[in-house]
Amino acid sequence: MCGIVGYIGKKQAAPILLDGLKKLEYRGYDSAGLAVRADDGEVSVVKAKGRLARLAERTENGALLQGTCGIGHTRWATHGEPSEENAHPHKCMDGSVTVVHNGILENYKELRDKLVRKGYTFHSQTDTEVIANCIDYYYKKYKLGPIDTIARFMMRARGSYALAVLFADCGDAIYVARKDSPMVIGAGRGEMFIASDVPAILKYTKRVYYIENYEMARITREGVEFYNIDREPVEKHAVRVKLDENAAEMGGYEHFMIKEIHEQPRAVELTLNSYLNGEYVDLSECKITDKFLETDEIVVVACGSAYHVGVVMQYVVEKLARIPVRVELASEFRYRDPILGKNALIVAISQSGETADTLAAVREAKARGIRTLAIVNVRGSSIAREADKTIFTYAGPEIAVATTKAYSAQLAVGYLLALEWARIGGRVDDVQCAAYIAELRNLPQKIEKILENKQSVQKFAAENSTVNDVFMIGRGVDYAACLEGALKLKEVSYVHTEAYAAGELKHGTISLIENGTLVLGVLTQSDILEKTASNLEEVKTRGASVVTVSFEGAKIPAEAEYAFTVPGTHELFAASLTVIPLQLLSYYVSLQRGLDVDKPRNLAKSVTVE
C-alpha cells in the first residue's frame, strides 16, 4: 500500500524521487521520506509526517539533497504510529545500510530480540528498522556482498516485502528484493528507476522489468542484474508498457474521482470492443478456449468493489448460464480451507492485480490444481502473471482511491463471461446472444447520458450532505449495486452507510430507522419491484426520507422525496447504470463536506498487505 521509488543515473535524484512519490500518492500514506547518496558516499535522509508537500518544502523541492542515486518512500503505518521517527527510509545502527520497505515483516519481534542481544539499538517502532539492522548484521558477519546478504535475510523473513537498499560501501548500485509486494524496474539511457507502480516512472521510461517473488536485483546506471534466492543469475527481458503518462494526470478536472467517473463510457466501450467480434464474444486474445471455461462450479474471489462485481456476476451468470456461482471474500477464502470440486473454476477479480488476499487465493487454488481465471486492469501485475488465464480490463490508470471506472470495466467482462458460459452450455442461441451483445454495446452511451444530467445528483447532495445515516436497499442485481453504492459513500464521505437486501429489513435493520434517516432504494428488477417498493413504504412510515433510482418511465409504486432515473437496459445489466448516480452522490457529498475526495483517510488504493 505504501510507495517506493528509486533512481540512479546522471541527474539529481531528489526531484525525480519527489515526482515519482507524487504519482504514488493515490496508494495512501501518512508520511514520506528520501535518502540520497552524495558524491562523497554520504547518505542523507529527510523525512516528514503528513502530505508529500511537507517533504518537498523541507528539501526545497529536492534542491537540498545533492546526489545522483537515491530512494524514496510514502508510508502507510502498520508498525508504529504515523510520525517522523517511524517514517522511511530507515538506517541501520551505524548508518551503513539504508532501507525503504513496503509490506509487513511478521517475525520482526523475533528478529529484533535477536539483534538486541547482538548489541543493536533501535530508534523507531517499525519492522523496517529491524530489516535495516538485520541486513547490516548479515553483511558484516558473512562478508559475502549485498546479494548474499539480502538472500540470507529473505530466508529468515516471514511476511511480505518489497525492499530497496543502499549500502554505504557499494555506492554504484541500489539493491532490491521482493516477496508478495509489487515492484517494477524501469530502464532508461544511462539511468534506471524503481517504483511500486508503473505510473511513478511513466514520465521517464516505458521499458520495465518485473521482479518476481523471491528475486533480487542489483541496479546500476548501466542496467540491472537479477538473482534468485539461491544467488543464481536470472535472465529477464524488458517489456514495453502501453500506457499514456497523461492518463494519470488530472486533465482539467478538480479531482481524479470525478475524472474517472466521466471516463467510464470509454472504459466500458474499450473493454467490450476488445472482446467482441460482431455479434459474438471473442476471448482468443486471452487464449481462453471453451474447454478452459467448461465448469460445473464457479467461485469468484475478490475484495472490496471487486467483490461487489462478483455479486453482480453471481446473479447474471446463474440466470443466463445456470451454473452455480459463489462469491468469496478473498481474505476469508484463503484461511477457511474451502471445499472445491476438481472441475471448479476460480475467477479472481482485482483492479491492481496485486491485492494480497486475492493473490493468495489464486495461489491456494493453483496449489490444489484448480484452474484460475483473473480479471485484472494492470498488465504485468502479480495476479495477471500467476493466474492460468487473464482477461484484462481497459480502464487505464485509476488514481482515485475509490474505484469507479475499473468497477464498470470489470462488470463488462463479467457480462461477457456470463454470455460465454451460457453459449457453451447451450442456454442461449445465436439470436439471443446477438440481442444481449447489442444491449451491452449501448451501455457506454447510456452511461454518458446519465453523466450529462448529473446536476440533479449534485443538487440533492448539496441539500443532504449533513445526513448521518444512509441505508441502500434493493433486491437481486439492485442489491448488488447497493453494496457498491454504500461502499462509495462511506469511503469518500465518511457517512455511515449500509446496503441491505430489501427483504432483510424486517430481520433487525428496520429498528434503526428514525426521523432523518435516508433510505435509497434501487428498483429495476420488474418481477420484484413491488416488493422493494413496499419496503420503502415501510421505512417511510417510520420517518425515513426515501430516494429511488429506477429506469426512465418505470412506474414505481412508492412515493419518494427524490427520484433519480437512468436509461432502460436489460435488467441483468442494470448495475452498470444504477451505480453511476450512486458514485456521483458519493463524490458530491464528499465535496460538500470538505473532504479529500481522492485520498480518503486511512485508505490505500491497492491493499498489498493483510
Catalytic residues: 2, 605
Calpha distance 365→602 (Å, rounded): 31
Q: Report the distance separating Cα 383 and Cα 348, nearest Å.
A: 8
- CA dihedral sign, ordered 336, 337, 343, 347: positive
Phi, psi angles (nearest 5°) of residue 481: -65, -35
- Burial group, residue 183, by CB count within 10 angstroms (0-12, 13-18, 19+): buried
Q: Which amino acid is at 531?
A: K
Scanning 322-404, the segments in alpha helix (DSSP H) are 330-333, 356-367, 382-386
Q: Which residues of 100-133 are buried (b: 16+ CB within 10 A; e: fewer)?
A: bbbbbbeebeebbeebeeeebeeebebbbbbbbb
Report residue 515 CA to chain centroid gap: 37
Say which residues have a Cβ less than 8 Å from residue 472's Cβ, sequence separation at least 6: 482, 485, 486, 497, 498, 499, 500, 519, 520, 521, 522, 582
CA distances from 506 to 454, 501, 511, 535 (A): 33, 11, 8, 9
Instruction: State the DSSP string of 187-231.
Output: E-SS-EEEESSGGGTTTT-SEEEEPPTTEEEEE-SS-EEEEETTS
Whether the Cβ atoms of residue 147 and residue 218 lie closer than 8 Å to each other: yes
Q: What string of DSSP letters covers 21-76?
A: HHHTGGG--SEEEEEEE-TTSPEEEEEEES-HHHHHHHTTTTTTS--SEEEEEEE-
Answer yes or no: are the C-beta atoms of 35 and 71 closer than 8 Å.
yes
Q: What sign does the CA torsion over 356, 357, 360, 365 have?
A: negative
Q: In what order do the strands lie in the sheet with 233-234?
A: 90-91, 97-105, 159-167, 174-179, 215-219, 224-228, 233-234
**CA distance to 5, 134, 230, 249, 591, per residue, from 149 (Å):** 22, 9, 11, 40, 50
Q: Cα–Cα distance between 87 and 30 in angstroms, integer?
A: 9
End-to-end CA distance of the chain: 10
> Based on the number of CB atoms within 10 Å of its own CB, is 580 exposed (0-12), middle (13-18) or buried (19 or more)?
buried
Q: Which of 426, 396, 380, 439 is nearest to 577 (CA)?
A: 439
Give alpha helix (H) positions in 401-498. 405-424, 430-441, 443-452, 455-464, 477-493
Cell 557499494 locates to 170
Read off the C-alpha cell for 230: 539461491
